[in-house]
């Protein structure tokens, strides 16, 4: 594909790659995914990038179709040349990589592995810029893919370029989040030029034109189709398929030993020549004769590494082999693979060495699944268990392994495979416990499907099966059904129906538990249930948030227990960092942002939200409820609308969405829209989050001239707060009562009670509502005092829409509202800059900030330069005063 050192027809692609490399020379990192069909020239672009990146260190990795099940395999390839920098990493990061690469025993976590890779690569980049090239990225193992994505997204201020080459994908993948460039076919003119330069045979004009038409711009096809006699027969097959047939045709006439040597090379994804020669010896091959013949085909080279000329060549060789040959190749590779240093590869080769069931091999695969899961390879564990099930002779073990494999595929995100495995199990041969497992797994699958609300019902069915055999497990399953029902949403009375079933069918508990408390709440209301909810929430032996954090957050919110919400958030953040659980850390940071929004610490809310946003790519999906509340609190209608689409797809956020929408529109003065949203949030069957929405419902109902609804909502709010013991929300109840009754004493009580409350935005709203009432009563002077207090309090808390309401009332009263001398920091800085600034102002070093925000130290320093410029300061010591 080259003429005089240049790539033909790739000027735009080379310009994009060159800009990234130029940026890295100047200290700006970047990444790009080159996307195109097999043979289109992606590898040639990676090779050219190496030539352009003169003076760069180069790290190489390639995904393997036959190695996708082995966790961190590709990442180890990439990092092998720079492992000498391991000693420069913090001990916990170094240990995480050693565990991930199988150098020491243990269980890695996604966050520490990601941070360790970032530290390792940026440490190596201090010596010289780096180019990381990852070919065949569509075949990366899942653990490597996540770690490389983590790295690629965090190189803004580091002299590192990461280039991925991947085939088009029909399904969304992790690399879709990165900048992408489609590599298309060559034009006819460029295709003719390539043929003229590189064809191994002289071509007349008609043959050349036919080749150009058949290849459809695919360079690999152009270069290899002439070997098949001039051109391939016309047909619907793609150019890569025809090229693969051409590769397979080169096997014709080879000796049996040469063919087997190529099959061995195709079956072993490591490219380790020592392993290849040992396997060849185990099969008794005449390597001295076979190797030159195999190399003569041009399909593979046998040097310091065993390499095929193209991934299609490996596929062609492997797929051309008959089953008996493949079994022999994998058997030989299993025999020579070290069971101590590579037990998983040995087990996998053994599994592919014969088609007949074998309980010993199945047991070895099952042990491999345990090791793979311990190393963070959930996808590998799923593949091992699936194969173990297929090889199991014992019917009982086959069923158990199939269910284990379905659970592992579900954990790894392989929803379709999990569903297929569950369908493959014959219900007639299952015992009741196994039937319950199948229904629980179907319930979890349903919970992952948008619009599928069958999960709770399946959990209830599983619980019924377990009731007589294992009452405690049955109660846990019933609780799963309730919690899932709360998260699925309230349409169609899902929660009411589940609670009715639980009340009548759940076996009695050995000791009072959270399920009992929820039954009491549904049957007799908040006043009766509050003491029991408090007790199960704060169980001295096992606080609820340590094993059901989402449910604990809902209960604490319903009890208006702000201190416990802070405790839960702190525990989740600490436990998430210590355990390396991205989902736990995300939930903790989201709750921290949520709590800060309620108390008006807008900087802390934005900083925590920025931290949460930094880690979604470490696994799992992002959290939304805190973002909804924060956007609504700030009066950002566009942000709420943008988040609404994502929230609607995940029904776990429906109630939060309605609450946020009601809050937003009350702030904007659109009370009809607020009323509609508040009605939906407090629909029948709602167990949780209704208390927080009731003040919005009352205000919207009063402004909408629905006094009956307002009075009813006030009574419900009073019931909630009495059950919770009043506390900091007593002032909110007072101003809500003032709205309903129109009596001044309640507004005055609200202002007094909220003066010392941590609920700063609600304090500002109490001043606002009191000021509005005073204006309507014609008491201008008193109104102005309340409205000024409201404007200052709400503006400082970042409640911009409510602050604008107060400003409008002041102007209507004839008062001037002065413009702020300078925008507050949270309006000047990006969310990540706010997070950096707050951590630095608290005394954190750049290295500590980098670890907490999952970015490199150079990126932290780049953010600090921007922060100083935007805020007009020159030192870290000045930050605290500006925040």
Cβ atoms of 449 and 517 within 8 Å: the answer is no
How far apart, in whole angstroms, are the C-alpha atoms of residue 485 and residue 479?
10
Q: Where does the pLDDT of residue 205 fall: very low under 50, low under 70, confident under 90, or very high at 90 and above?
A: low
- Tell me the whole-structure pTM to 2 decimals: 0.76
Please return the burial class of 729, using the count of CB atoms within 10 Å of its CB with bins 0-12, 13-18 and 19+.
buried
* Dihedral over alpha carbons 831, 833, 834, 838 (to 10 degrees): 150
447 pLDDT exceeds 60? Answer: yes
Over range 751-769, report the average pLDDT. Answer: 95
Please return the burial class of 57, using the count of CB atoms within 10 Å of its CB with bins 0-12, 13-18 and 19+.
middle
Q: What is the pLDDT of residue 233?
A: 35
Q: Where does the pLDDT of residue 726 fall: very low under 50, low under 70, confident under 90, or very high at 90 and above?
A: low
How far apart, in whole angstroms, are the C-alpha atoms of residue 775 and residue 769?
10
DSSP tally for the chain: helices H, then strands E: 46, 9
Alpha helices in 599-741 (DSSP H): 602-613, 625-633, 637-649, 654-668, 671-681, 690-703, 707-723, 730-741
Cβ atoms of 613 and 642 within 8 Å: the answer is no
Angle between helices 602-613 and 582-598 (to 10 degrees): 160
232 pLDDT exceeds 50? Answer: no
Of the candidates 541, 485, 489, 493, the residue with the CA atom closest to the CA atom of residue 515 = 485
Q: Where does the pLDDT of residue 502 fall: very low under 50, low under 70, confident under 90, or very high at 90 and above?
A: confident
Name which residue leads in pLDDT, 355 or 838. Answer: 838
- Beta strand ranges found along 536-645 (DSSP E): none
Over range 873-882, report the average pLDDT. Answer: 82
336 pLDDT exceeds 90? Answer: yes
- 245-287 residue pLDDT tens: 778 888 988 999 999 999 999 888 778 889 999 999 999 999 9
Range with the poorest average pLDDT among 347-351, 458-462, 713-717, 813-817: 347-351
How far apart, in whole angstroms, are the C-alpha atoms of residue 32 and residue 41?
15
How far apart, in whole angstroms, are the C-alpha atoms of residue 105 and residue 180?
37
How far apart, in whole angstroms, are the C-alpha atoms of residue 262 and residue 97?
33
How far apart, in whole angstroms, are the C-alpha atoms of residue 408 and residue 401?
10
């Amino acid at each position: 594909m080259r003429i005089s050192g240049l790539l033909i027809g790739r000027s735009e692609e080379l310009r994009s790659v060159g800009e990234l490399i130029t940026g890295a020379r100047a200290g700006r990192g970047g990444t790009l995914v080159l996307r195109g069909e097999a043979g289109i020239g992606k590898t040639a672009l990676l090779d050219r990038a190496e030539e352009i990146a003169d003076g760069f260190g180069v790290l190489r990795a390639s995904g393997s179709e036959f190695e996708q099940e082995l966790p961190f395999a590709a990442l180890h390839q990439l990092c092998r040349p720079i492992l000498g920098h391991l000693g420069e990493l913090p001990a916990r990061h170094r240990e995480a990589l050693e565990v991930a690469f199988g150098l020491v025993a243990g269980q890695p976590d996604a966050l520490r592995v990601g941070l360790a890779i970032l530290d390792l690569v940026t440490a190596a980049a201090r010596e010289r810029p780096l180019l990381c090239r990852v070919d065949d990225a569509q075949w990366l193992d899942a653990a490597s893919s996540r770690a490389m994505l983590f790295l690629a997204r965090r190189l803004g201020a580091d002299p590192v370029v990461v280039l991925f080459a991947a085939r088009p994908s029909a399904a969304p993948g992790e690399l879709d989040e990165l900048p992408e460039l489609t590599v298309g076919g060559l034009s006819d003119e460029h295709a003719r030029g390539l043929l003229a330069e590189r064809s191994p045979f002289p071509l007349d004009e008609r043959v050349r034109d036919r080749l150009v038409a058949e290849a459809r711009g695919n360079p690999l096809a152009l270069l290899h189709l002439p070997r098949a006699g001039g051109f391939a027969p016309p047909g619907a097959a793609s150019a890569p398929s025809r090229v693969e047939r051409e590769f397979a045709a080169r096997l014709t006439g080879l000796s049996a030993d040469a063919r087997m040597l190529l099959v061995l090379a195709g079956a072993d994804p490591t490219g380790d020549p020592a392993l290849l020669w040992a396997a060849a010896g185990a099969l008794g091959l005449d390597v001295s004769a076979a190797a030159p013949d195999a190399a003569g085909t041009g399909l593979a080279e046998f040097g310091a590494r065993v390499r095929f000329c193209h991934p299609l060549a490996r596929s062609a060789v492997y797929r051309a082999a008959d089953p008996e040959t493949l079994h022999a190749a994998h058997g030989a590779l299993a025999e020579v693979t070290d069971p101590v240093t590579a037990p998983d590869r040995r087990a996998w080769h053994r599994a592919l060495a014969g088609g007949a069931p074998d309980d010993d091999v199945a047991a070895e695969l099952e042990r491999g699944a345990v090791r793979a899961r311990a190393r963070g390879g959930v996808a590998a564990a799923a593949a091992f268990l699936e194969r173990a099930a297929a090889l199991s002779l014992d019917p009982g073990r086959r069923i158990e392994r199939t269910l284990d494999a379905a659970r592992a595929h579900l954990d790894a995100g392989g929803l379709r495979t999990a569903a297929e495995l569950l369908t493959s199990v014959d219900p007639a041969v299952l015992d009741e416990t196994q039937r319950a497992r199948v229904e629980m797994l179907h319930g979890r699958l349903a919970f992952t499907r948008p619009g599928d609300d069958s999960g709770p019902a399946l959990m209830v069915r599983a619980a019924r099966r377990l009731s007589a055999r294992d009452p405690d497990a049955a109660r846990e399953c019933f609780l799963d059904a309730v919690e899932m029902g709360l998260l699925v949403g309230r349409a169609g009375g899902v929660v009411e129906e589940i609670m009715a079933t639980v009340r009548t069918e759940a076996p009695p508990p050995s000791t009072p538990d959270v399920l009992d408390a929820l039954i009491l709440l549904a049957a007799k209301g908040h006043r009766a249930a509050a003491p029991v909810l408090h007790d199960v929430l704060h169980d001295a032996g096992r606080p609820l948030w340590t094993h059901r954090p989402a449910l604990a957050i809902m209960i604490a919110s319903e009890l208006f227990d702000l201190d416990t919400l802070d405790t839960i958030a702190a525990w989740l953040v600490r436990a998430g960092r210590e355990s390396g659980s991205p989902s736990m850390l995300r939930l903790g940071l989201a709750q921290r942002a949520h709590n800060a929004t309620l108390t008006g610490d807008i900087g802390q809310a934005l900083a925590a939200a920025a931290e949460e946003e930094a880690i979604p790519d470490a696994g799992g999906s992002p959290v939304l409820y805190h973002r909804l509340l924060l956007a609504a609190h700030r009066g950002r209608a566009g942000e709420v609308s943008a988040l609404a689409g994502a929230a609607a797809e995940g029904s776990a956020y429906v109630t939060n969405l309605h609450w946020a929408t009601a809050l937003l529109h009350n702030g904007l003065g659109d009370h009809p829209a607020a009323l509609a949203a508040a009605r939906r949030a407090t629909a029948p069957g709602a167990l949780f989050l209704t208390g927080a929405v009731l003040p919005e419902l009352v205000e919207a109902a009063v402004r909408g001239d629905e006094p009956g609804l307002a009075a009813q909502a006030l009574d419900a709010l009073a019931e909630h707060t009495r059950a919770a013991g009043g506390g900091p929300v007593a002032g909110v109840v007072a101003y809500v009562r003032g709205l309903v009754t129109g009596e001044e004493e309640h507004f005055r009580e609200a202002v007094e009670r909220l003066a010392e409350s941590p609920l700063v935005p609600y304090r500002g709203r109490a001043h606002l509502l009191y000021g509005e009432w005073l204006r309507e009563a014609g008491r201008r002077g008193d109104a102005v005092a309340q409205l000024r207090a409201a404007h200052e309090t709400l503006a400082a808390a970042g409640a911009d829409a409510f602050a604008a309401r107060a400003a409008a009332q002041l102007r209507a009263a004839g008062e001037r509202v002065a413009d702020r001398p300078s925008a507050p920091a949270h309006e000047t800085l990006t969310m990540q800059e706010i997070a950096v600034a707050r951590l630095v102002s608290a005394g954190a070093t750049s290295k500590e900030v980098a670890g907490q925000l999952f970015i490199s130290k150079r990126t932290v320093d780049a953010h600090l330069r921007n922060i100083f410029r935007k805020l007009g300061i020159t030192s870290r010591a000045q930050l605290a005063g500006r925040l």
